[in-house]
């Protein structure tokens, strides 16, 4: 009964709506990841939880519109603008169209959606494991945790290929500076040489395996591609993590 009521309550506070917005800013952060901010126009604000996503309607002059899901990278404490980090997939029609957005363009979206949200009542520490643009929901969560003054130890493992792929460096550095309870591990699977920052050589699973004997005391959140999630989940379970304390968002 309590679970049923809580589902109804959640649905009420997260009413899915259509929004009209316009592009406030757009820029490339690395060779294949761009960010853009949508300013909401009608309605002019959105209630969402850190970690949720919206579906963006991506129009085309001649062809049918496409609909693609994107995690909100910004904190829900700013509910008038939404930040997105998107990978420009060479073979992907949706991200190719989004990459052509211009400041002032009108964009329709629908949301908020998704259950990849913080279990705020849990007293376990947090393990955030992200591949590529899968860092977006974690940026929203960490910003929210920090602004709300929630005291939690957060271990972040962020997997990329090379140093130059670290598209959200400034944002992450800002969060680390103001929120001392974060241990941030950048894991670079293809980097060999010396670079201008600390990093873990290899995939996130290697770093996690080296750092932890067991995972029992965490709520583990994983975001990225299917194989990435499976690899991380298998490692966590093999080292004692309860399945019910693993939450994930699969991008593709």
Ligand X SMILES: Cc1cc2nc3c(=O)[nH]c(=O)nc-3n(C[C@H](O)[C@H](O)[C@H](O)COP(=O)(O)OP(=O)(O)OC[C@H]3O[C@@H](n4cnc5c(N)ncnc54)[C@H](O)[C@@H]3O)c2cc1C
The one segment of 13-21, 129-137, 152-160, 232-240 that binds ligand X by CB under 6 A: 129-137
Other C-beta atoms within 10 Å of 52: how many? 22
Q: How far does CA 217 lie from the centroid of its chain? A: 22
Tell which one of 37, 38, 83, 87 touches ligand X (CB under 6 A).
87
Residues of span 11-30 touching ligand X by CB under 6 A: none
Pairing, β 106-113 against β 17-28: antiparallel
CA 47 to chain centre: 17
Binds ligand X (CB under 6 A): choice among 75, 133, 155, 205: 133
Helices (H) and strands (E) in the chain, counts: 6, 12
The interface region with ligand X, picked from 11-19, 90-98, 148-156, 191-199 by CB under 6 A, is: 90-98
- Cβ-based nearer residue to ligand X, 66 or 150: 66
Nearer to ligand X, 71 or 241 (CB): 71
Give which of 186, 152, 187 is closest to 172, Cα–Cα.
186
Q: What is the largest CA-CA distance in the chain?
A: 57
The least CB distance from residue 106 to ligand X, in Å, is: 20
Residues of this chain, 96-125, that bind ligand X according to CB under 6 A: 114
Name the one range near ligand X by CB under 6 A: 21-29, 67-75, 180-188, 237-245: 67-75
Cβ burial, residue 140 (10 Å; 0-12/13-18/19+): buried
Interface residues toward ligand X, by CB under 6 A:
53, 68-71, 85-87, 89, 91-95, 114, 132-133, 136, 249, 251-252
């Amino acid at each position: 009964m309590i679970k049923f009521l809580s589902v109804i309550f959640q649905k009420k506070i997260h009413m899915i709506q259509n929004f009209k917005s316009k592009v406030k800013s757009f820029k490339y952060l690395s060779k294949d990841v761009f960010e853009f901010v949508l300013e909401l126009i009608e309605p002019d604000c959105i209630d969402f939880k850190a970690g949720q996503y919206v579906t963006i309607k991506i129009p085309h002059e001649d062809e049918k519109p496409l609909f693609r899901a994107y995690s909100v990278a910004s904190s829900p404490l700013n509910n008038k603008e939404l930040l997105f980090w998107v990978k420009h997939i060479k073979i992907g029609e949706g991200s190719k169209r989004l990459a052509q957005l211009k400041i002032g363009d009108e964009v329709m979206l629908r949301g908020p959606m998704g259950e990849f949200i913080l279990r705020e009542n849990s007293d376990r520490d947090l393990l955030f494991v992200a591949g590529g643009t899968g860092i977006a929901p974690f940026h929203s969560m960490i910003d929210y945790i920090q602004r709300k003054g929630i005291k939690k130890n957060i271990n972040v493992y962020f997997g990329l290929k090379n140093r130059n792929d670290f598209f959200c460096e400034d944002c992450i550095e800002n969060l680390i500076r103001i929120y001392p309870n974060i241990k941030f591990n950048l894991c670079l699977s293809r980097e060999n040489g010396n670079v201008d920052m600390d990093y873990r050589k290899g995939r996130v699973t290697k770093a996690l395996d080296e750092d932890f004997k067991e995972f029992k005391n965490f709520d583990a959140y994983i975001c990225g591609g299917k194989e990435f999630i499976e690899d991380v989940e298998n490692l966590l379970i093999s080292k004692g993590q309860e399945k019910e304390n693993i939450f994930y968002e699969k991008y593709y």
